[in-house]
Structure 1
Amino acid sequence: MEDSSLVMVDANAKGILGEYEHDFSIGSHDEFVILYGPNGVGKTKFLEIIHALSRLLAFRLEKLPFDSACLTYSDGSQLSVERRTDEEEPSEVSITFTLARPGNDDLVWDYIDDDVVEFVRKHSPYEQLTEELWQDPSNGEILHFDEIRALYAPRIRTLKSGQNTVPAELKAFVSRVPSFLIETQRLQTDERKRRDEPQWFARSRERRQARSRISEQAQQISSLLNDAQTEHSRITQRLDRTFPNRVLLAARQERALDASAIRERYDVQNDFRSRLGRVASVSLDEELSLPPDGELESWALALLDLYLEDAHTKLEPFNELLDKIELLEQIINGRLLKKDLAVTDKEGLAVVHSETGRRIHLESLSSGEQHEIILMIDLLFHVPKGAVVLIDEPEISLHVAWQLAFIPDVRKIAELVGFRFIVATHSPQIINDDWDRAKRLGPKEVPFE
């Protein structure tokens, strides 16, 4: 993994579930840390607190059971949060963020509750079903509170003259070390179809249609390949328009070009074309045929050099994407039994029986197979470079052999994408040979295994 100019090196949270204090350290050049311990000590909550603090998600921190938390970074900066509950009115919670940077004054932001619940009760059709779920009685539509907040909080902040806006310096700081949380439940998602309805806020109402997460992931990979193809076409048109003039200009220039280096570049590029042709229906230029071994005249070297340079530029949109696709196929096909997964631009993901060639629908894969594919796709295609990835209970639905391979596989992905990761687990098999990277949470007297 490439070094980052700023990385998280320590995390601490106090008062988790009202009684636990958890912390861990990760060296600035270390790839990962594993957190383990018995059930009920708040491993998942610890990850959620780190994630919410890293992204300044005050409304999530309001609901999490803890008192304070602090993240320390490689430059000595510390981002902390205090969560205080009113003793007389326990439902009243205040959140204060503090950014302490060496050589700078502390930056403090007191989050002001935007009263979404009260506002929605008064000014929307939604009625509260549970702490997290709200329903519109007129059509039966049910929304999670996070969705309610996403709909109404921006309008409340506007009405309150932006008093809850995150300070620009604070926002800029956390953007340098993004956080990505992979939660335990990964199989279901919601596809929203919008239909316009005139209302006081002139907003569009959302209806929800259940859709499997793995189908959504397949569509996203297909879109990534199609986007790369579109960019390839754009670059091709631009370069081809000017190619004749540039060939003439290159032929007039006196440049010392190495024929063996030209041939080597040609072979490398043809190999890339062959790999790419397996996953994408890319309209590639007709390949130039190199003459048999022997001397190439200077004009031919100039032409081939320019041709190869243009072809490299045209194929650039696929470089990183193809590496990720091949690693995904390598990892998943090393795990599936009598099944082969292939990535294509048309379907995104295709699975066939390795002996009969019969197509296997993605939703008919076992929950363990789906969990593993979804998790690896998240890590490969959704995590931004330089992020800290928080993975909660990766052992869910995985048999022992897959658990043993988990950390080695994620390390390969982390090196390719460029992230560090924290894993919370109940499984000794996930830890496997990496006990030197593992930190126990919770009472020592309670057995783990």
Structure 2
Amino acid sequence: MTTLRSFQVDQLLGEFNHKIHFNAEKEFVILHGPNGVGKTKLLELLSATLSFDIFRISEVQFAKLSLNFDDGVELAVTNNSERSGSSIDLTWLIKGGKFGSEGVQSSFQIPLDDIPPSMLREVEVEIRQMLSVDAAPSAKFRALEHSGRYLPASARATRMFGKRLGLSFEEFDVRIPSYLDQFSVHMVETQRLLILDRNYEGARRRPGESFPQRMKVSECANDLASRIATALTENSTVSQEQDKSFPRRVLDQSTDHAVPSEGTIREAYSAQSLLRNRLSSIALLEESMDVPLPPKELIDWQKKVLWTYLEDSQKKLDSFTDLLTRVELFREIISSRFQFKRMLIDRKAGFRFANRRGDFIAPEQLSSGEQHEIVLIYDLLFEVKPGSLVLIDEPEISLHVAWQLEFLEDIRRIASVSKFRFIVATHSPQIVNEWWSETLPLNATPSESE
């Protein structure tokens, strides 16, 4: 798998140069520095570039971004856009590795001032469709959503308008976005508690009305309920297949030699009993194995039936393994942080909480600090694709100092399950804790060109 080795930005915010080396043998790096040197903007720019999101790239003030990958490929994005934000003018150069020493160069030029706000989204979507790129809405469009100034426009009108402006990207070399398609980047932004309801029917919105907002913590609970339901459905399918062939396999004389010793059978039975108890505790099973094996020695037919049953059960239970690992770690981390509440995993609710009196508490009724912890941990455990580069901006927001001290160790445990590397930008020495050897300072030294 190709990984990012280093990246450098010139004239970030118009004056700062930063170079970050990401050791391939390390699972994370920590960025720190004073306010105003561009930690957040650096992460946003890196995320937008790896996602090939030209609109979000253009929203960051910089001169050039250079990325180096461990397959020898170098990617440079030069920003020629006007600082007024009236246009997008980006030049892409990719070389080295399979692209050779000369490489491939292409450009985007989009006059934003000539695009009415009512058509900004359609132009953005049109560009992504032409280049087969799927990315989140840009900050410019998100601002239009918040302000309620977005008006729908037909795709036909967009194409006609784009043609009049000369917005054609047929000559852009698709090998550039195709190369970036292999990377998955996951940005954890500072605003993590609210999400816009973009599924809200546009026809129901009044002029000037913004999209409704939903609580992210409630979405996490609903998502877990959905994942549990999916796991149960998949398990049911596996169970039906195994149950249909169970009698045949029990009666099949050719498998007699495959039956292990009684000690092995008893060990497997005990291990499955423990696994069922774990699954029952997170609502994936309604009952545990409560029928003990007889203490006397098993006879041959009993061993064969039991072993066939245990093999079937293991195949059924294996369908829960990944979800079990993630839910248990999620519950363990949250339970270790919440002193006065108990987390309950529920098939219908996903998760909820109970106080020391036994009263139930909905996730959205938790404090902002508790919600931040839940949303962040859940996001990293359940939403990150394996092999992703995760960018975490100011994880200390609303977190108690004691929680900050444990943060990196928690994320390292999650990263081992979800299989990702990560970059953290923070002001907090408590977040860094014992990991100062993994920190890189972003100095406030102005660029030489200024």
Is TM > 0.5 for Structure 1 vs Structure 2? yes
Residue equivalent to 2:330: 328
Letter in 1 for 2:396: E
User: Offset of 1:97 from its aligned partner?
Assistant: 2.6
Query: Gaps spanning 5+ residues in structure 1: where?
Result: 198-205
Residue equivalent to 2:95: 100
* From 146, 166, 190, the counterpart of 2:196: 190
CA change 1:154–1:283 in 2 (3 A) is: farther
Structure 1 residues 52-94: Cα deviation after superposition (integer angstroms, max 9, x where no partner) = 111111111111111111222222222331211359x873331
* From 264, 270, 276, the counterpart of 1:261: 264
Q: Does structure 2 conserve the Cα–Cα contact (< 8 Å) formed by 1:157 and 1:164? A: no
Q: Mean Cα displacement is larger for which, 288-297 or 403-412?
A: 288-297
SS in 1 for 2:338: coil
Residue equivalent to 2:276: 273
Structure 1 residues 332-373: Cα deviation after superposition (integer angstroms, max 9, x where no partner) = 1111121112222211121111x2111123222111111111
Counterpart-to-counterpart distance in 2, 1:292 and 1:323: 32
Q: After superposition, where does 1:297-312 map in structure 2 within 5 Å?
A: 297=300, 299-312=301-314
Q: Normalising by structure 1, what TM-score?
A: 0.83
Greater percentage in strand: 1
Counterpart-to-counterpart distance in 2, 1:98 and 1:11: 14
SS in 2 for 1:177: coil
Counterpart-to-counterpart distance in 1, 2:168 and 2:121: 25
* From 231, 236, 239, the counterpart of 1:228: 231
Residue equivalent to 1:201: none
Residue equivalent to 1:337: 339
Matched, 1:375 2:379: no
CA change 1:441–1:258 in 2 (3 A) is: same
Query: Gaps spanning 5+ residues in structure 2: where?
Result: 123-138, 204-208
SS in 2 for 1:254: helix
User: Offset of 1:123 from its aligned partner?
Assistant: 5.9
* From 304, 313, 316, the counterpart of 1:314: 316
Letter in 2 for 1:347: A
Q: Normalising by structure 2, what TM-score?
A: 0.83
Matched, 1:364 2:365: yes
CA change 1:173–1:70 in 2 (3 A) is: same
User: Offset of 1:248 from its aligned partner?
Assistant: 2.5
User: Offset of 1:379 from its aligned partner?
Assistant: 0.5
Letter in 2 for 1:57: D
Matched, 1:52 2:45: no
Greater percentage in helix: 2
Counterpart-to-counterpart distance in 2, 1:273 and 1:59: 49
Matched, 1:76 2:86: no
Counterpart-to-counterpart distance in 2, 1:272 and 1:43: 44
Q: Does structure 2 conserve the Cα–Cα contact (< 8 Å) formed by 1:53 and 1:80? A: no
SS in 1 for 2:392: strand
Residue equivalent to 1:31: 27
Letter in 2 for 1:396: I
Letter in 2 for 1:65: Q
- Sequence identity percentage: 34
Q: Does structure 2 conserve the Cα–Cα contact (< 8 Å) formed by 1:114 and 1:157? A: no
RMSD of aligned alpha carbons: 3.5
Counterpart-to-counterpart distance in 2, 1:27 and 1:383: 21
Give the total of aligned pairs: 421
CA change 1:282–1:8 in 2 (3 A) is: same
Counterpart-to-counterpart distance in 1, 2:441 and 2:258: 62
Q: After superposition, where does 1:370-409 map in structure 2 within 5 Å?
A: 370-409=371-410
Residue equivalent to 2:39: 43
Residue equivalent to 2:349: 347
